[in-house]
Amino acid sequence: MEFALRLQNQPLAVSTYATLPPGVRELMPGSEDLSRVTREALRRGGGGG
């Protein structure tokens, strides 16, 4: 899977939390959080295992 993702240069999915109940939606990370985590993982090498 890691190999396949390294070759992937297109978005994997686009999703929103619009259909989730408000209490659950509040617990989900925002786009800034996801972007930050992704950048940090890529900076570290993103090996995952």
d(CA 20, CA 3): 32
Which residues in the chain come in under a pLDDT of 50? 1
pLDDT at 48: 54
> pTM of the predicted model, to two decimals?
0.48
pLDDT at 1: 46
Residue ranges of alpha helices (H) inside the chain are: 2-7, 22-25, 31-44
pLDDT at 19: 86
Residue that has been written with the tokens 């070759």 in this structure: 7
